[in-house]
Amino acid sequence: MLSCALGVRQPKLDAQTRAFFRDARPWGFILFREACVSRVQVQALCEELREAAGHDAIVWIDQEGGRVARLKPPEWPVWPACAAYGELFAEAEALGYEAAYLGHRLIAHELKRMGVDGDYAPVLDVPVTGSDKIVGDRAFSPDPKVASVLARAALEGLHDGGVAGCIKHMPGHGRATADSHLALPRVSASELDLTDDVFPFAAMADAEAAMTAHIIYEAWDKDRPATCSAHVIKTILRGRIGFAGLLMSDDLDMKALQYALNGGLKERAEAALEAGCDVVLQCSGVLEDMQAVASGCRPLAGLALVRARAVENFAKRPAREFDPEAGWARFKQLMAGRLSA
């Protein structure tokens, strides 16, 4: 298996893409909005992807709720942005915790029955005043302690539904004043100021997977974004935060890495893996892009393979017994006034 997860933006694979997946054998796939038409179609696509890869590949999706939702109405229901759970938590802590758990348990129910194994959630970023709106209401709360509590509830909801989670964007995207999809953010805060940013990640260091941030943290590495910084990954993420799970890069297509590194997608993949990422993500769905990334990847082996297998164990476990009708009824009751299409 190759140390990458590749984006899929077609509801059924064309012959060239299928042949590439057969040869490359990527560890995983990522479904995007264009690939998700109906429940029956997504289930068939997941089966097709695994057959093409030649192994029981992990299939991921970004289904946070709010702005970041690949599953959309009318085929799928609406989940709120995570800030709504934080607002409820501020009013009644037990109800906010229950809602965060139940919302993600319901997401897991949808994913599991279609054959989707993992959700790139929960977001642990802590937004600060003046930061770019790219995080905004995707965050549970500007309070790092509240963010970590609700993220724990969300991850438990995914796990009980038999779905793996991925905490993001380590070591924290909430202070960035630019969107890393479009630019290379630099964070000039001191190590002391960054304490709040890393707190939720330290509290969730036992998570099975995490995603890096394409951000330069000048207190740690003035030249390279976290994704490609051996110092940030080994000293901060693995050392200080204590994260021992599978570390995945954010999307290599994002312009932050284009501005940070020389070369193309092959070189970005090589840089991220050399710095200490276990798996890289490439999300365009364009065959030439996927081929370039694959050429910079290596087979999963050693600790990276051990961590990948641990994620697979979370993703392939059966869901706990659950009544989705009762779950939705309770969820709507909890989130009254906070759900909208």
Residue 9 domain flag: no
pTM greater than 0.85 (yes/no): yes
Residues belonging to the chain: 341
For 71, the token pair is 């599953």
Domain presence at residue 217 = yes
- For the purposes of burial, counting CB atoms within 10 Å of the CB of 317, is it exposed (0-12), middle (13-18) or buried (19 or more)? middle
Ranges of the chain whose pLDDT falls below 70: 340-341
**Residue 278 and residue 248: Cα distance in Å, rounded?**
6
Confirm whether 160 is a catalytic residue: no
- pLDDT at position 49: 98
The parent domain of residue 308 ranges over 79-286+301-334
Q: What is the CATH number of the domain that holds 98?
A: 3.20.20.300
- pLDDT of res. 262: 81
Name residue, tokens 């970004």.
62
Q: Is residue 23 part of a domain?
A: no
State the alpha helices, DSSP H only, in the chain. 15-24, 39-53, 83-91, 93-114, 144-160, 195-203, 230-231, 255-260, 265-275, 287-295, 302-316, 324-334
Question: Is residue 215 in some structural domain?
Answer: yes
Catalytic residue among 14, 181, 193, 323: 181
Rounded distance, CA 125 to CA 171, Å?
Answer: 8
Separation CA 215–CA 237 (nearest Å): 14
For residue 41, is it within any domain? no
Q: Is residue 39 part of a domain?
A: no
The residue written with tokens 């298996």 in the block is: 1
Under 8 Å between Cβ of 173 and 125: yes
Q: What's the burial of 107, exposed, middle or buried (CB within 10 Å: 0-12/13-18/19+)? A: buried
- Residue at 34 is within a domain: no
250 classed as catalytic = yes
In a domain, 308, yes or no: yes
pLDDT at 341: 46
Per the structure, the count of domains in the chain is 1
Integer Cα distance of 56 and 219 in angstroms: 41
Helix (H) or strand (E) holding 263: none
Q: Which of 250, 253, 278, 289 is catalytic?
A: 250
